[in-house]
Amino acid sequence: MTVTHALEGGFGVLRRQDPELAGILDAERERQATTLQLIAAENFTSPAVLAALGSPLANKYAEGYPGARHHGGCETADAAERLAVERARALFGADHANVQAHSGSSAVLAAYAALLRPGDTVLALGLAHGGHLTHGSPANFSGRWFDFVGYGVDAETGHIDHDQVHALARAHRPKAIVCGSIAHPRHIDHAFFREVADEVGACLIADAAHPIGLVAGGAAPSPVPYADIVCATTHKVLRGPRGGMLLCGAELAERVDRAVFPFTQGGAQMHTVAAKAVAFGEAATPAFAAYAHQVVANARALAEALADEGLLVTTGGTDTHLITADPAPLGVEGREARGRLAAAGIVLDCCVLPHADDRGLRLGTAAVTTQGMGEREMVLIAGLLASVLRGGTEPARTRTDVHELTAAFPPYPG
User: What is the C-alpha R_g of the chain?
Assistant: 22
N-to-C CA span, the chain = 9
Q: What sign for the dihedral angle of Cα 138, 143, 147, 148?
A: negative
3-class DSSP assignment, residue 171: helix
Cβ atoms of 203 and 175 within 8 Å: the answer is yes
Contact (Cβ atoms closer than 8 angstroms) between residue 12 and residue 336? no
Active site residues: 61, 63, 207, 233, 236, 242
CA dist 133 and 143 (Å) reads 8
For 287, residues 6+ apart whose C-beta sits below 8 A from its C-beta are none
CA quadruple 118, 228, 99, 32: dihedral sign: positive
Whole-angstrom CA distances from 89 to 99, 103, 261, 374 are: 10, 18, 19, 31
**100 with 265: CB under 8 angstroms?**
yes
In one letter, which amino acid is 84?
A: A
- Using CA atoms, how far residue 346 sits from 29, 65, 301, in Å, is 16, 42, 17
